[in-house]
Structure 1
Amino acid sequence: MLELKLEEGRRWLSDGNVQVPIVPFGECRGRYQGSVFVLASGPSAGEFPLARYADWPIIAMNGSIVRCVDEQITPFFYICDDPGFVRDRPDLARLGARSATHLAMSLNCFQELHRHDPTVLAQRANVLLLERVNRRHGMAVLSDRSYAWSIRKDPDLICGFSLLRKKTNRIGFSCDMSKGYFGARTIPFAATQLACHLGFSQVFIIGMDLNKSIGRFYETGAAALPSSLDEDFEDYILPSFRIVAEQVSSRYPLRLFNLSPDSRLPASVVPKVQPTQLDALLEAEMTVTGGKCLRGRS
């Protein structure tokens, strides 16, 4: 069984034979700048000309790794926090774990991946551990309301608070992944928090259609995994992205753009941009950076 170990102040994933060092999120905070693409799995991701933007960093997740592999693109990050996905589609999880420059998963995802193929993590570097806020390993778990109240003065954690509605206390945004991240019931939101943590200022989200009826671009028919998008949209997904629009962007130099023209998420929450607008935004950024696509800074 793969377990999380603490040795000499560092954390490791270990099963007694394999030992994989965990890179602390603090080591990569604010090290990057410019634009990043977040590649989700809605049908519009299958139509987006990804190869045209291969010079920019891409955060892939779950089954969206298929597009990167098809286009021979090495994603900057591959992330996954759903052990059910790893269990049901281990081929895709393994593909992401082997392909990306950086790998970030929750502990239960790492355990499922290791159970399926013990060689994957043994051959990897740049492994990071995704942990939910108020669920970090080795720390006491508070009630959602108590946790929301406890972080009210933390500039890195923006959270709703309510004495009346429990769900309000679960909605938030983390600008520091070492303190955990808010789930929002959709993995692109975790990727957005990761992008902010890394220091990127423009986030272009591909394939965030958020429409259960049209599924994912990489699966059809009986092979399609179940989705709870309809159940979660109003209570978690929409208010989570609304927090970014109303509170995060005013405190941090973070702008989100939705490249899915038919996304269920309103343009008033995350602006939708056309291909010509995307190119103009990237060109403007390159003018500022001296004509370079910046992945990192020393």
Structure 2
Amino acid sequence: MAENTLYITDADIATLVNGKTSRDTIIFLSGPTSLNTPLSVLKANDVITVNGSARYLLDNGVSPFIYVLTDSRFLEQRRDDFYAFSQRSRFTIVNRDVYEDASEEDKRYLEQHCHIIRPLYKREKGGFFKKLSLNWIAQRNPHIHVRVPLSKRKRLVGFSTRISEGYCSCHTIAFTALQIAYSLNFERIVFSGLDLTGSCTRFYDEKNNPMPSELSKDLGKILPFFAFAREVVKDMNVFNLSDDTAVDYRIIPHITPDQLSGFASS
């Protein structure tokens, strides 16, 4: 498939928007506090879920609105799970890494059944020409927000408000899911399981095909992205259900399930 027809388009985004069934979306992650989110809240909202977290939803009668995968190791190590999660979700979004590292058979499935998003950069560090290119893109595209440091040793931060233009990656799929949710114009974006505390364990059992979490060592790289998104996207209504999180509530305010349900019924 030609590259210019491979990635998600504005028309694809319109299809996703038209498929919404709720004003809010819950981004259901793998932090342990996700298990504190009432099933009634999950069933009342469009849920964007990631990685192995989808199993809990499906086992409890919640059909994901969007399943997101950005780690190609998951497709390689847990292929049956990926297919089960994708086929039982209304939509699936993967990134370019997942597609490029897939087998030819899996690539055909991804092309036919999934939306593919492309990163705006490979790493947050880089040389002069990379920074020049990103600055040029950001200055000319109102959907791309990037702050590029002068020093090549420092890391850039970014946020995309329209994933058809590309997305800004950091070291957590939660940030990718946030850009997806914002692109779909949900009134409120609510994280479930955005913990990033301690050793950043996942709530689900990974005795079979474990994938070690690297979030704890990457925390210093992750948090500036959320702070940057809050700074540059003034109309983003994003909240966190987690009562045990490394993300400052001044950046992503806390919300309770009761408060969320009250808004939904108002």
Q: Which band: TM-score by shorter chain? A: 0.7 to 0.9
Residue 25 of structure 1 deviates from its aligned partner by: 4.1
Does the Cα contact within 8 Å between 1:80 and 1:109 map onto a contact in 2? Answer: yes
2:147 is the alignment partner of 1:160: yes
Does the Cα contact within 8 Å between 2:241 and 2:256 map onto a contact in 1? Answer: yes
Residue 149 of structure 1 deviates from its aligned partner by: 1.5
Residue 263 of structure 1 deviates from its aligned partner by: 1.1
5+ residue gaps in structure 2? 123-127
2:13 is aligned to 28
- Work out which of the residue numbers 50, 53, 57 in structure 2 matches 1:61: 50
Residue 211 of structure 1 deviates from its aligned partner by: 2.8
Residue 281 of structure 1 deviates from its aligned partner by: 3.1
How many residue pairs get aligned? The number is 257
1:239 is aligned to 224
1:133 is aligned to 120
Residue 227 of structure 1 deviates from its aligned partner by: 1.6
2:218 is the alignment partner of 1:208: no
Question: Which of the pair has more CA radius of gyration?
Answer: 1
2:211 is aligned to 225
**CA deviation map 1:191-225 (0-9, x unaligned):** 11011111113100111111352511112568531
Identity of aligned residues (%): 25
Post-superposition, which runs of at least 4 consecutive aligned residues in structure 1 deviate over 4 A? 29-33, 111-122, 220-223
Structure 1 counterpart of 2:155, one-letter code: T
1:278-297 to structure 2, matched below 5 A, reads 278-283=260-265, 287=266
Does the Cα contact within 8 Å between 1:86 and 1:112 map onto a contact in 2? Answer: no
Change (3 A) 1:212 1:226: farther
Residue 234 of structure 1 deviates from its aligned partner by: 0.9
2:5 is aligned to 11
Structure 1 counterpart of 2:184, one-letter code: L
More helix, by proportion: 2
2:49 is the alignment partner of 1:49: no
Q: Quote the Cα distance in structure 1 between the aligned partners of 2:204 and 2:74.
A: 13
* TM-score normalized by the length of structure 1: 0.76
**CA deviation map 1:237-286 (0-9, x unaligned):** 101100121111x1xx3211011110111111111122222223333xxx
User: Per the alignment, in what secondary structure is the counterpart of residue 155 of structure 2?
Assistant: helix
**CA deviation map 1:94-124 (0-9, x unaligned):** 22211111111124424656567689558x6
**CA deviation map 1:162-216 (0-9, x unaligned):** 11254432x1000111111011110011111011111113100111111352511
Q: Could you say what the CA RMSD is over the residues aligned between the two structures, in angstroms? A: 2.8
User: Per the alignment, in what secondary structure is the counterpart of residue 11 of structure 1?
Assistant: helix
Does the Cα contact within 8 Å between 1:81 and 1:130 map onto a contact in 2? Answer: no
Deviates more, 1:274-283 or 1:40-49: 274-283
Deviates more, 1:149-158 or 1:255-264: 149-158
* TM-score normalized by the length of structure 2: 0.84
5+ residue gaps in structure 1? 13-21, 136-141, 288-298
